[in-house]
A and B are shown apart, each in its own frame.
Chain A
Amino acid sequence: MSDDKKTYYSIDPEDKLYCSKCNELMVKADCAFAYLDNEFPVEMPVCPVCGLVYVPEDLAIGKVLSVEKVLEDK
C-alpha cells in the first residue's frame, strides 16, 4: 500500500493554506477525484477538522482538465 501511495498525484499544502472556517492549517490527506465513473486517488490539502478539500487553480485548469477531456471521449 505504501509503495502504491508514492505514485499518487500529490499537492503539498506547504504550510501556507488555512481553512478559514476552522482556522486550521491544512494538511496533506488521501483524496480521490472522480469523473464519469472513474476514480483517481490523490493527496490534496485538506482541513483536518472540517475536511474541506482544496483544489488549486493550476491543477484544475491543467492536469484535471486534461484528464477530463480524455475521459469525455471514452
Chain B
Amino acid sequence: MKDHFKERSTRTYRQKQLFTKAELEERESVCVHEQPAFCTAACPLKLDAREFVRLVGIGDIKTARAMLERIAPFPYILASGCHSPCVSKCRLSEVSEGISIGALERYVMANAPAPAGKGLLKFKKKKKAAVFGGSLFALAVAGEMANKSYPTTFYVAESEAADIIRSCASFLSDGDMETETKRLLAMDIDIIYNSQLGASFIDSLKDKFDLVFASSELLGEKPDQITLINSSGIITDSGNNKEVIDSLFDARRAGITADRLAQSLDPKSSRGDEGPFESRLYTDLSEVIPSSQIAENEGYTKEEAIAEASRCIQCACTECMKACIYLREFKRHPRLLTREIYNNTGIIMGDHTLNRAMNSCSLCKQCSVTCPFGYDMADICQKARANMVDTDKLSLAVHEFALLDMLFSNSEAFLSMLPPDKENCEYVFFPGCQAGAVSPETIIKSYADLRERLTGDIALMLGCCGAIAHWAGRTELYDEMKDFIKSEMAKLNNPKIIAGCPTCRNTLSEYLDVPVIGIWDILSDLGLPENTEKASGKAVIQDACAARCDSETQDKIRDLTKKLGYTVSEPQNTKDRCSCCGYGGLVSYANRDMAKDMANDRLKGVSDELNLTYCMACSDRFKREGADSKHILELIYGTAKDGFADISEKRKNRLTLKQSLLSDVWGINVLDEVLDFELKISDEARIIMDDRMILESDIIAVMKDYHINKEAVYDVKTELSIATKRIGNVSFWVKFTSEGENAYNVVGAYSHRMTISKRGR
C-alpha cells in the first residue's frame, strides 16, 4: 500500500495537464462575466458603451471622449449621426427606457477638451492608398487609412474640404462642421479636389496605388460582403448602407481588409469578431427601479449628463459572487479563477500562488445553482487538487490533519457490528464521523431509537465515508477508503444504509450498490419518538450543502422541525442556494479565516436565533462562531449541549462512543489505556493546542517518551521543561512542570514540520 504521508520534494518536476485546451475553453465559456454589455455588443464599432457611460457618470469626460476619438476618425459625425442601435438593446429598455447613449456622446464631444498633440510618432507605411468619392464611407475610410499611417490620396469632386464634410454629414451643426473640416485638413491626407469621379477615372489611376477604395455607387457594383473587395480588386462600401454607423462600420472593415492585403495575408481570415452580435451576458433586473430618459433639448448640461449616465445599471453578471463569499474574497469570477487555477497546476518550478484559492473552495456547488448557466467551480477546484497531488505539487501540510483524522475514524475509532445475537441485518446505521466527534450521545440515543421502532435488524458502522480524502484530492487514498468500507459492508452482507449525515449519504451512494437513505427519511415515516420534548419558538433552517437540489430531504427536515414545535424560518440563502459552513472541502484546515467568514456569512442576521442544522459539521462550525446552533437529532433526542468540542475531545468522543456502545449494546468491555503517570493539561494549554492542531494524544506520546528517557530541555529562567517527539511529519514540543517523579502539568505546546539535526562533526 502506498505511503500517503511521505513528504514530497520541491525538487520533483512533474506536470500533468489539468484539462485539454478544448475542455478548458468549454468550461470557461460557461461563465459570461466577461461578455460585453448588451449596448457594446449592439455597436458595430464596438464602443464599450457601458464604460463610456460610467465615465460620464463620474464626470471623466476627457477619457470618455478619448474612447470616441479612438473608434471613429470623425467623432463629431459619429456622435451626431449615429442612430444609436445600443439604446434599443439596453436592458433598461425592458423595464423603462434605455440610456440615451447618443445624447451622452454629443454632450461629451461638445464639452470635453480635444486631445492635445498628435499622439505617438508613427512611421509611414510603404503601401500607398487611394480613396475615390465624396460619400461618408469614402471620407471615413480616408480618415481610417491616414490614422493607420498609410500614405493616402483622397480624390473628391468638391473644391474644398468644408464641402466634403457638408456633403457627407449635412446633419452636423455649423460649429461641428467647422471642427471636422479642420480635422480633415489636419490629417496626413493628400486631397485632390475637383476630380472627375467615375469608373474610368478610377480605372486610369488605380494601378498607381497598392490599396484602392471607392464608393460602391461610383462603380455600380456590390463587393464581397466580408472583405468588401469588388470584382476589380477595389475595396468599396457594402452597398447596403442606410445609417451613418453603417458607413463608419464599412470604413472600419475596409481598413481591416487593407491591413490584411498590405501584409499579403488572406483578407477573409483572422478578421476577428466584426459587427454587432448578441451578448450572452446575464443581468438581473429584479431590483432595477424604472426611470425615464432625460430629454436632450439643446444638449445636456453637466448635471443632466451625469443624471442620465447614473441611470445605467452597469450590466454585469455577478450572480455567483453575490452568494459566494469565497469568490468575493478572492475577487475573481469563475472564468478568471478557472484560468488562474489551471495555470497554477501547470507551474513546474516556482510559487504556486493559487494554491490557497484552490484549497479555499468548500466544494459546495452553490455556484452551480446561483450561476444562470450552472458554472461548477467545485469540480474544477477538486480536480485541480487531485492533479497537484498526482504531480507531487500539493503540500501534505494543508490537509494532513484532516486525513489523519479520517484514518483515525476508520481504524482506532472504527466499529462495524451486526446487531447483538444476529447473523444478518436489514439495515446498517452509519451516523458519520462528525456526529461521533461532536455529539456521541446523539448516536447512542438515535441507534437505540431506530432499533426499538424500526422493523428489521439494524447493524452499526462508526467510521468515515471517505469524503475527506476526496475533498483533499487524494484519489488513491479515497479508493482505499472506498475499498475498506465496501469490505466492511460485505461482512454485514450489504444491508441498506441509514446515513446520519447528508455528505455520507451522497458519498456512500456514489460507490456502493446498496440503497442509502437518511435517518430523516426514517424519522419522517416513523414520526418523532414519544419522549421527544416539544419545543416552541422559531428555528432558522440552515440547510446542508450536501442536500443541495434535494428538495425531498429539505422538506422532510422542515416537516420534522414543525413536528418538534418550532416555526420554520428561512435564512437569506436557503435550500438549493445555501452556502457551506466552512467545513466542506476542508476549508477549515486550508484557510481558517475563510472558513470563519463562510460560517459568519451564513449566520448573518440570524446568529441570535436558533440555527437548526442537519449536518453535525455545520452545527459545530456555527457554535465555534458563537451562534446558537443545534442539530435536528440533538433536538429530537434531547442531547444538545452548550459549547463545542475541541479537536482532542472530538477524537476522545469517538473512542468513548465506541467503548460505550460495545459495552452497553454488545456487552464487550474494552479497557482504557492507563498511563503510568499523572498528566494535567491547563485550560490555556488546551486552547493553544486546539488553535495549533495539537492533539492530547500527541502530548501523551511526547510525555510517555519523557517519562521513560527523561530527555528534555530545562529553562532555568522559566523553570519549565520542554520535551519533544517527532510523530509522523511533525515535531511536537511540550512545555511542562514536574510534580515529583510521576506527575506532569502541561502548560503549553507547539509544533513544526521541519526536521532539525546537528550538522557536521
Contact = CB atoms under 8 A, between A and B. Distances in A.
Interface of A: 16-21, 26, 29-38, 41, 44-46, 50-55, 57, 60-61, 64-65, 67-68, 70-74
B713 A33 contact: no
Contact of B709 (A21, A38, A61): A21
B92 to A, nearest CB: 45
A30 B711 contact: no
B626 to A, nearest CB: 25
Contacts of B716: 16-18
Nearest to A15: B716
Interface stretch (B40-48, B153-161, B614-622, B750-758): B750-758
Contact of A32 (B352, B397, B709, B756): B756
A35 B754 contact: yes
B758 A31 contact: yes
21 contacts: A16-B716, A18-B714, A21-B710, A30-B760, A30-B761, A32-B759, A33-B755, A33-B756, A36-B8, A36-B9, A38-B10, A45-B713, A50-B711, A52-B713, A53-B758, A57-B748, A60-B751, A67-B754, A72-B398, A73-B355, A74-B352
Contacts of A30: 758-761
A20 B710 contact: yes
Nearest to A22: B711
B7 A29 contact: no
A44 B756 contact: yes
Contacts of A18: 713-714, 716
A66 to B, nearest CB: 11
A50 B713 CA distance: 12
B758 A29 contact: yes
Contacts of A67: 754
A17 to B, nearest CB: 6
Given A30-B761, A37-B10, A74-B351, A21 B711 contact: yes
Nearest to A50: B711
Contacts of B717: 16
Interface string B197-239: 0000000000000000000000000000000000000000000
Interface of B: 7-11, 350-353, 355-356, 395, 397-398, 692, 709-717, 721-722, 724, 731, 733, 735, 748, 750-761
B434 to A, nearest CB: 26
Contacts of B350: 74
A72 B395 contact: yes
A33 B750 CA distance: 16
Contacts of A41: 759
A73 B713 contact: no
B712 A21 contact: yes
A16 B510 CA distance: 59
Contact of B10 (A29, A36, A46, A65): A36
B353 A53 contact: no
Contacts of A19: 711-714
A34 B713 contact: no
A71 B398 CA distance: 12
A33 B754 contact: yes
B703 to A, nearest CB: 13
B755 A35 contact: yes
Given A33-B756, A34-B757, A55-B756, 14 more contacts: A20-B721, A21-B712, A33-B754, A33-B755, A34-B755, A35-B754, A36-B7, A37-B11, A55-B724, A57-B735, A68-B754, A72-B395, A72-B397, A74-B352
A68 B713 contact: no
A67 B397 CA distance: 13
Given A21-B711, A71-B10, A35 B753 contact: yes
A21 to B, nearest CB: 5
